[in-house]
Structure formats: C-alpha cells, structure tokens
Amino acid sequence: TVNDAGTTYGTALLAADRKRLNRTVAIGLDETSFVRLADTHTSYATTVCDVQHHQIIDILPSRHFVDVAGFLDKQPAAWKQRVVYGALDMSPTYAAVYTVILPKAAQVVDPFHVISLANRALDQIRRRVQNEQTGHRGRRDDPLYRARRMLLSGEEHLSDKAAARLASLLTLGGPGAEVAIGYRAKERLREFYRTHEPAKARAMLEELIEHCRRRAMPPELQKLGRTLRQWFDKICNYHLARISNGPTEALNNLIKRIK
C-alpha cells in the first residue's frame, strides 16, 4: 500500500519536473545491478544522468537498446537538440543508443574505464610473465608480485626511492622487459589525459595505438591497441569538453548505498 502510494505520488512529481531535463547539454548512461535474484538472474537498470549538474534524470528498469533508446526518443525534440555530449563507458549498446537517437551529440568514453583497461592489460602481462618465469602464481617474495601495487600507481605518485625499487623489481622479475613495456604504455595513456591540446592529444593516442599493435609487443598490449583503435574518436572527444561519466557512476553508488 505504501509503495503504491509513493509510486503514484512520485510519478506525478517526475512528470511535473521539467527542470532536470531542460538545463543540461551533457548526459551520461550507465548500468547498475538493481535486483539480484538468487539462482536465476540479475536485473539491471540504466541510470540517465545530467553529468553537467550531477543530477539524475531518470532510472530505467533495463539496459537493453530498445528500452534505453525508446526513453530518449520520447523526450522533446528541443531537449534532444540541446544535448551536445553523451558520456558512456565502453558499452556498444549505449554507443548505439547515442548514434541512433542523438546523432549530433559527441560521444565521450569515460577516462576511468580507459585507464582501467590499460591497468588490466598490464596486470595480465605481469601474471603471465610471473608464470613463465617461476612456473607458479605470485608469491610474497617474487619480484613481480611485490611490484604489483606500484605498477598500478601513477608514476608521479611514486617517490624517487619507490621508483628505483620498482625499476629493480621489474629487472629481476621480468628480464624480457614485457612488464616494463606495459607499464610505460599505461603511463603514456595517462599522459594523454593530462594533455590540454586536443590535436596534440590525438596524435599522442595515435602513436600509442601504433606502438601497442606492433607484432613484437606483448599480446595483451596488442589487444589493448585494438580496443583503443575501435573507440579512438570517442576517447579523443574527452578533450573537447573534459566531461566524464563519473557523476553517473557516483549516483549509481549512492543508489546502492540507499538500497
């Protein structure tokens, strides 16, 4: 009874609230697990966020293309014309939604997910080299295992002592320098995001992709290069407005904490 009353009242309030729709030029789409049903399946929801003002626009009970695209398509034409940027993670579904419903909006891949992709590639290289060199998974005294946290830290956050220790551990644990190469690629990608000139950043990313896709590179880096190539323009679009999907992620976290 209480839920029905809250739903009826809340639906009317949402219908009357046009402000949350009318003031944004940048939106974000992100999925979150909403209901986890034991032994059956997990129900996902899509949060539509105003990433310019850090405000929820709506929560859709689905992450499927038809449902998300249908919601955006029902919005006023003036609102759709006003949206200049669409933030997303590397989701083909949400990219397709933007392409079909908001073709004029520049799609911006969230920087956090791009760096996370590079971190995963680096960690996969470390694990593989560890197994190849020792024949077992990382143990407390193994150089590459001891270096695992420093590898995922930003280079600028390491003291001179820590940087020297990392270089020593990489030399001891990975004589083929594959892990060191992966670390430099990850740091180069972070430099790309610190660059403020769009043209320079674009050239930097192009160079990094070509470097990663060389046959001599570790297979994990080659795969990273292919993914960066696939999302190249959407990654570079970050330098047009420097927006991210962070506000959408934060609101999804808030939803989970409230639940």
> pTM, whole model, 2 decimals?
0.87
* Confidence category of residue 15, pLDDT binned at 50, 70, 90: confident
* Confidence category of residue 94, pLDDT binned at 50, 70, 90: very high
Averaged over 196-208, what is the pLDDT?
95
Asked if the model's pLDDT at residue 41 lies above 90, the reply is no
Of the listed ranges 56-60, 75-79, 243-247, 255-259, the least confidently predicted one is 255-259
User: Greater confidence, 23 or 203?
Assistant: 203
* Confidence category of residue 14, pLDDT binned at 50, 70, 90: confident
Q: Are 188 and 208 in contact (CB under 8 A)?
A: yes
Tell me whether residue 140 is exposed, middle or buried, using C-beta atoms within 10 angstroms of its C-beta: 0 to 12, 13 to 18, 19 or more.
Answer: exposed
Asked if the model's pLDDT at residue 125 lies above 90, the reply is yes
Residues 157 and 228: their CA atoms lie apart, in Å, by 25
Residues 55 and 63: their CA atoms lie apart, in Å, by 19
Write out the two tokens for 41.
Answer: 């399946």
Residues 202 and 30: their CA atoms lie apart, in Å, by 26
pLDDT digits (tens, 9 = 90+) for 128-172: 999 998 888 888 889 999 999 999 999 999 999 999 999 999 888
pLDDT of residue 211: 95
Asked if the model's pLDDT at residue 231 lies above 90, the reply is yes
* Confidence category of residue 93, pLDDT binned at 50, 70, 90: very high
Residues 154 and 224: their CA atoms lie apart, in Å, by 19
3-state secondary structure 21-52: HHCCCEEEEEEEEEEECCCCCEEEEEEEEECC
In the chain, how long is the greatest CA-to-CA distance? 67
Averaged over 108-132, what is the pLDDT?
94
pLDDT of residue 139: 86
Write out the two tokens for 197.
Answer: 């000139």
Write out the two tokens for 220.
Answer: 């994990």
pLDDT of residue 39: 66
Residues 184 and 163: their CA atoms lie apart, in Å, by 13
Of the listed ranges 18-22, 54-58, 112-116, 175-179, the least confidently predicted one is 18-22
